[in-house]
Structure 1
Amino acid sequence: MIKILITILIGAVLLLSGCAQKLPDDEQSNSASAELPSLHIINNVSYSSLAALSYTDSSIRLTYGTEPLQYGQLYLPQTATMPVKAPLVVFIHGGCWLNAYDISHSRAFSQALAAEGFAVWSLEYRRTGDSGGGWPGSFTDVLAGISSVPSLLSGYPIDSNNIVLAGHSAGGQLALLAAGKSYHQPVLSGLPAIKGVVGLAAITDMPGYSVGNNSCQQATHQFLQGSAEQQPEYYLQANPQQQAMHPKTMLLHGTTDSIVPLAQASGSGMPFQLVADAGHFDWIHPQTLAYKKFIATLQELFAQ
């Protein structure tokens, strides 16, 4: 009888022990399910999806010139204080250099960068269709916006000795040129020192891009006031592939970009990295793998 009781007790203990061992698996399963939304990654997003992103705009609007479009929006991470200054990303938005596409489509992106711990100086500038826009006015505005950093942003918790430039699409073309000028002509340009530059789906070959058939490629003629044959000097000045680049230049490009061909990165002669299945707008959409790649690239540049 005693043996039977002991056997029953041992069996009960083993059964309870088995159940106890299964509980962590159940908890882990529930935890994984709870984390699924934050792990959800999309790709090949549309322009309209950028406009649909919700965000709270905490930016500070500051002017770097006297023209209405010569301003920037400063985004600060919540962790930034005067003793602990944040690294600065100077961002130049794209939009085929046209005034139909302004800074607004990149606001959710800039807000997301600030949440990652970066200060962001996102520049607006005059574009084709604006008085004073086009080449070279758009580039002159961008240079002025970057040059304003040491004085205009001095009262904010920003490390002005720790700056990376970044630009998307047409803004990438302008960012690449500005970074090269900062490095090779620091005194003449009046630009602050730049640690590096990231071109996101950047246009690097202006003559080659201008002969394409999509609407952004055709906008090159408006931006540079003619074809490469009509304006050879402008095409030379505005062409990153024919200008001296910053030694810490990185191009990031998606393999399914239908607006800026992959050859703009792979044939540029500059360092580049690809993200499979990423489209043109993925780089500035915070829920994409391309965006995560951009964050990792920024962290690497700032760590150098």
Structure 2
Amino acid sequence: MKMTGIVAVCVLLLTGCGGSGDRTSRSAPVVSEPVITVTENVSYRQVLALNATSPDANMAYGEEPEQTGDLWMPADVISPPLVIVIHGGCWSNQYGPEQLYPLASALQEDGFAVWVPGFRRSGDEGGGWPGTLEDVVQSINYIYQQNEYPFDETSVTLAGHSSGGHLALLASQQITLPVARITGLAPVTDIVAYSQGANSCQQAVTSFMGSRREDEPEAWAEANPVSYSYGTPLWILAGEQDITVTIEQNPIPEATFVVVERAGHFDWLHPDTPAFQVFTSLLAR
């Protein structure tokens, strides 16, 4: 399934008026050329430059400094649907959850509660495999267990972007309460195949795993989303222009696979892109 970009077309119509009843004095309508504005294939810097609202709460789900999460709650909505979003960044502590703040702010405005957990990553004490995934699972279980900020537990979406999509897929196998849907935003679905690539994120897989596949094949299989079956409705969303995580065909048989034309790797995080609109349309199901 391919979904094309959404465009905004602005047409300015200028009309001149002459004297009453005098047709010859009327000037002809002037129509400008259509102005087409499409935000596509955005950069990481463009996402970070966006305005965002501050979270309503920052809550610790563990004792380590990285084990905290940010929560956005919509105004005047009782028991809103919840979107849990796991951030990407090549599993590295060089990249944090702030990249998701514009996304969270936009979803909050649309009436969703949004939980964006931090977690230990490669470069952090206890980060990497399996500590990073353990933190993500713990953070998801925590948001269900806390009762200060109620939400609709029957309408929870677990989403993740890039390496965060990899973690979200794995976490769905371990969390204590089920979610309504899982959405991978340019997710890494096969770390074995991905690790064989040459870009910096692909080369980061071995550092995240702390081993080579030939030395720890069981650990690599356990950390690989394609090793599992998924009973929960699952969407894999890919950008046609994504060069960081290239997904050309459906990697998981149970998933609904959607490719957005002209979308890049970070379009899913930018509220003004067609890719973001595809993502939010799935939340409304």
What is the TM-score when the length of structure 1 is the normalising length? 0.80
| Counterpart for residue 110 of structure 1 | 104
The structure where helix makes up a greater share of residues is: 1
The aligned residue for residue 197 of structure 2 is 212
Show structure 1 runs of 4+ deviating over 6 A: 12-16
Q: 2:76 aligns to what?
A: 79
8 Å Cα contact 1:282-1:288 kept in structure 2 = yes
The residue number in structure 1 matching 2:144 is 150
Work out which of the residue numbers 267, 277, 285 in structure 1 matches 2:251: 267
- What's the CA shift string for 1:53-96, capped at 9, x where partnerless? 1223133100111111001100011132xxx2100001100000
5+ residue gaps, structure 1, are 1-11, 183-190
Q: Deviations over 1:156-185 (max 9, x none)?
A: 241133211000000001111122334xxx
Query: Per-residue displacement from partner, 1:83-122 (whole Å, max 9, x unpaired)?
Result: x210000110000000000111111111111111110011
1:70 to 67, 71, 92: 67
1:181 equivalent in alignment to 2:151: no
Normalising to structure 2: TM-score of the pair? 0.85
**Residue 289 in 1 paired to residue 283 in 2?**
no
Distance in 2, Cα, partners of 1:92 & 1:289: 21
1:124 CA drift (Å): 0.6
2-structure distance, mates of 1:169, 1:92: 9
Contact 1:224 1:231 in 2 (8 A): no
Whether the aligned pair in 1 keeps the contact of 2:241 and 2:264 (CA below 8 Å) is: yes
Counterpart CA distance in 1 for 2:250 and 2:76 is 38
Matched, 1:59 2:36: no
Within a 5 Å distance, the mapping from 1:1-304 to structure 2 comes to: 40-80=37-77, 84-152=78-146, 154-182=147-175, 191-263=176-248, 266-269=250-253, 270-300=255-285
Q: Name stretches of at least 5 consecutive residues in structure 2 with no aligned partner.
A: 1-18
Partners of 2:268 and 2:206 lie apart in 1 by: 25
Structure with greater proportional strand content? 2
2:172 alignment partner, SS class: helix
For residue 192 of structure 1, report the CA deviation from its aligned partner.
1.7
Aligned length: 262
Where 1:279 maps in the other structure, the secondary structure is: coil
Q: Secondary structure at the match of 1:150?
A: helix
Could you say which structure has the larger radius of gyration? 1
**RMSD of aligned alpha carbons:** 2.3
What SS does the aligned partner of 1:257 have?
Answer: coil
- Of all paired residues, the percent bearing the same amino acid is 38
CA contact (8 A) 2:180 2:232 kept: no
The alignment partner of 2:174 has SS state of: helix
Give the residue type in structure 2 aligned to 1:193.
P
